[in-house]
Amino acid sequence: MSWLQRLKGGLTRTKDAIVNKVAMTVRRAVAVNDEFWEQIEEILILGDVGMNTAVAMVDEMRQRYRQNKPRDMEELLGMISQVMAGKLQPEDQRDPLAFEPGLNVIMVIGVNGSGKTTSTGKLANYFSAQGKKVMLAACDTFRAAAVEQLEIWANRADVPIVRHQAGTDPAAVMFDAVESARARNVDILLADTAGRLHTKHNLMEELKKLQRVAVEKGGAASFRSWLVLDATLGQNSLNQVKLFNESVPVDALVITKLDGTAKGGIVFAIQGEIKVPIAFIGVGEKLEDMMPFRAAEFSQALIGDVSSDNVTETSEEIAEEQPAQ
């Protein structure tokens, strides 16, 4: 299966919750009035697109409707889809995958269970396949199982790993890893981190310390922190960007678990409200289930060509109800 097919499969529930519902509403509408636009807005909000982004999207749809005066509902649907697709484009055009010559450290951060360790492994595999020299650092020393879990991923991705005993200072792991990576001319060092310490304050201080060690003591050419967000949390995950930004600047996001959740509308909210680029998205637990986020491809998988008749289930349902159309 190609990545696009896997992405499409992974986004099925989100597509049902947002895109197919919008299509159904448009095709069933008898008039394009305030009530119609409220229905569209409600679908977007319920689909975890977020209040502000949903309102902005509907405003743009209404404006285009007034300007372009579509001839029929299919044309209107095409327009609405275009607005949705446009909202997936990042406002920030910085490429999170632009690396420096020398050692680039990516610290993978996020709350417990968001998918940090899994993503670190998948990212190692991705960059390695791109011809980069990759190394892992097991900076989640909080639990022994975390170090072992990362080691399994290192084996799967076939990249070296720097690890210490559980319970040791993660900053010491970072320091060793950066030294070892520089000695081996590693391009990308991916550091897995803990998601929970005794207090939130401890966690935030630890992340700051890891950054200091990598940059000031280790002399990494570039340092960035990528925040892993669990898509199944929907709107709730947005607060985490703010929270983690208070400790270290969040340079990019990794959105995990887009497969099997209807809350993928979160991606619209991120593009509309969070000024941090999405670097990667994950749609499964396997090594190859993670790819860079590309707006056009995501939009193709989620929205596709809804203005034609290939919104299978929806169009059938409508055809039955409105045979005369």
Residues that bind ligand GDP (CB under 6 A): 110, 112-118, 195, 256-257, 259-260, 282-285, 289
How many residues touch Mg ion under the rule CB under 5 A: the total is 3
Return the number of the residue (21 or 116) whose C-beta is nearest ligand GDP: 116
- Both structure tokens of 225: 């922190």
Matching residue, tokens 């060690």: 213
CB of 275 to ligand GDP, least distance (A): 23
Which listed option, Mg ion, ligand GDP, none, makes contact with residue 257 (CB within 5 to 8 Å by class)? ligand GDP
CB of 191 to ligand GDP, least distance (A): 12
Return the number of the residue (50 or 121) whose C-beta is nearest Mg ion: 121
CB of 192 to ligand GDP, least distance (A): 7
C-beta nearest to ligand GDP: residue: 282
What CA dihedral angle connects 165, 170, 172 and 178, to 10 degrees? 110
Q: Say how far apart CA 179 and CA 214 lie, in whole Å.
A: 9
Task: Identify which of 118, 123, 119 has the alpha carbon closest to the alpha carbon of residue 97.
Answer: 123
Which listed option, ligand GDP, Mg ion, none, makes contact with residue 283 (CB within 5 to 8 Å by class)? ligand GDP
Return the number of the residue (117 or 225) whose C-beta is nearest Mg ion: 117
Q: Give yes or no for a contact between 253 and 226, defined as CB atoms under 8 angstroms apart.
A: yes
Which parts of 84-123 interact with Mg ion (CB under 5 A)? Answer: 116-117
Instruction: Tell me the CA distances in angstroms from 71 to 32, 58, 99, 306, one per residue in order.
Output: 12, 19, 48, 17
For residues 142 to 181, the per-residue mask of contacts with Mg ion, x marking binding by CB under 5 A and - elsewhere, is ----x-----------------------------------
CB of 192 to Mg ion, least distance (A): 6
Return the number of the residue (143 or 212) whose C-beta is nearest Mg ion: 143
Which listed option, Mg ion, ligand GDP, none, makes contact with residue 114 (CB within 5 to 8 Å by class)? ligand GDP
> If you ran DSSP here, which 8-state letter would residue 142 be given?
S
120 contact partners, CB below 8 Å, separation of at least 6: 108, 136, 150, 153, 190, 191, 192
92 contact partners, CB below 8 Å, separation of at least 6: 275, 276, 277
Return the number of the residue (189 or 301) whose C-beta is nearest Mg ion: 189
Q: Say how far apart CA 299 and CA 296 lie, in whole Å.
A: 5
H helices of 47-169, where?
51-68, 73-86, 116-129, 144-157
Task: Note the residues at the interface with Mg ion (CB under 5 A).
Answer: 116-117, 146
